[in-house]
């Protein structure tokens, strides 16, 4: 199918999600689909397992669940989207009794399409932010903008945009903060996970975000699994590794090697990265460092 067809397939699948129509998913997913989920789920194999072990459980906890895409793009047999969902906590969810609290959480989705069906899905959900909003763990997620501003200037080709992303990742993986001046606009915006929220300006990103990550995990290294580009947008998801050798969000160094999943969506202006929507598996990192908020909610 064409990229437009793939986007339309994604739209129909989201419509089924938002109308709580589990049986409609049979028209949109392959029977042997794989759902690579966040902490608490992991990999789920098969359409029926996804429908009844994942989606039905989400509806049970948040019966008015509703997802809204903020950014979406497609290239070849890949489709990607990031946005937020809302829902009222009216049923047991991960061991937390219903609170009646209305939550809003960010997500990212990457799909691989086979023929006219979705065959594989890499998912990130702001699990830690949900737990914070429900009062199950201390703290409150910082807000990040729902707005998406299209670029006022044309970017270069999608191939060159992917190469720009690769060079930026190379700077990340070689701990070269100053190299970022070549890849980001000076007034860039980094829409980060709950502990950061929106960070404005290249220097703030370099020294308040990336330098702090290096401080906690000085051997940080990121690897992309899926990446695609369309127009002035680039998206990628993958994992990073690092050894916890210094204080990180108040957690003393443990010496533990961690592996965390991430997703990135960028808007390109000209030949620079101008805006970045980021998801990081914060809950998974905490679990690997010996802190498991999910286990605490289950007593």
Q: What is the pLDDT of residue 40?
A: 79
Res 155 pLDDT > 60: no
- Check whether 147 has a pLDDT greater than 70: no
pTM: 0.92
pLDDT at 277: 96
Q: Which of 113, 167, 148, 120 is nearest to 233 (CA)?
A: 148
Average pLDDT estimate for 35-48: 92
Average pLDDT over residues 14-25: 94
pLDDT band with cut points at 50, 70 and 90 for residue 298 = low
pLDDT for 109 beyond 90? yes
Question: How far is 177 from 169, CA to CA, in rounded Å?
Answer: 11
Q: How far apart are the first and last CA of the chain?
A: 48
Comparison of pLDDT for 65 and 194, the residue scoring more: 65
Annotate 115-131 with DSSP letters as a single string.
TTEEEEEEEEE-HHHHH
With 90 as the cut, is the pLDDT of residue 95 above it?
no
Q: What are the contacts of 200-205 at 24+ separation with CB within 8 A?
A: 205/180
288: CB partners within 8 A, 6+ apart: 256, 258, 259, 260
d(CA 277, CA 299): 34
Which run of H or of E encompasses 191? Answer: strand 184-191
pLDDT score, position 149: 60
Looking at residue 297, its pLDDT comes to 63
Asked whether 144 and 107 are in contact (CB, 8 A), the reply is: no
- Report the chain's mean pLDDT, rounded to a whole number: 92
Tell me the mean pLDDT in the region 222-240: 96
Each residue's pLDDT tens digit, 233-284: 999 999 999 999 999 888 999 999 999 999 999 999 999 999 999 999 999 9
Model confidence at 55: pLDDT above 90: yes
What domains can you pick out in the chain, each with its CATH number? 3-133 (3.10.450.50), 158-294 (3.10.450.50)
Question: Which position has the token pair 């805006």?
Answer: 275
Residue 193 — very low, low, confident or very high, per pLDDT cuts 50/70/90?
confident
């Amino acid at each position: 199918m064409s990229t437009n067809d793939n986007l339309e397939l994604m739209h129909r699948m989201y419509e089924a999600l938002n109308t709580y129509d589990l049986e409609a998913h049979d028209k949109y997913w392959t029977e042997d689909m794989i759902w690579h989920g966040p902490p608490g789920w992991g990999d789920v194999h098969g359409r029926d397992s996804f429908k009844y072990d994942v989606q039905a459980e989400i509806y049970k906890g948040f019966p008015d669940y509703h997802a809204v895409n903020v950014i979406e793009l497609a290239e070849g047999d890949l489709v990607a989207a990031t946005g937020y969902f809302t829902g009222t906590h009216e049923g047991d969810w991960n061991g937390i009794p219903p609170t009646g609290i209305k939550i809003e959480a960010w997500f990212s989705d990457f799909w691989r399409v086979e023929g006219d069906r979705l065959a594989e899905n890499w998912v990130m959900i702001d699990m830690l932010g949900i737990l914070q909003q429900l009062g199950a763990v201390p703290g409150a997620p910082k807000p990040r903008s729902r707005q998406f501003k299209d670029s006022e200037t044309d970017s270069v080709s999608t191939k060159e945009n992917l190469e720009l992303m690769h060079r930026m990742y190379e700077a990340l993986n070689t701990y070269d903060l100053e190299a970022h001046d070549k890849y980001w606009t000076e007034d860039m915006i980094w829409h980060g996970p709950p502990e950061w929220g929106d960070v404005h300006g290249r220097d703030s990103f370099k020294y308040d975000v990336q330098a702090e990550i290096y401080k906690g995990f000085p051997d940080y290294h990121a690897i992309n699994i899926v990446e695609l580009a369309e127009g002035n947008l680039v998206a990628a998801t993958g994992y990073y590794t690092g050894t916890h050798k210094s204080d990180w969000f108040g957690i003393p160094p443990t010496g533990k090697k961690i592996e965390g999943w991430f997703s990135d969506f960028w808007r390109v202006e000209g030949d620079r990265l101008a805006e970045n929507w980021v998801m990081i598996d914060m809950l998974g990192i905490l679990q690997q460092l010996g802190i498991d908020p999910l286990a605490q909610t289950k007593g």
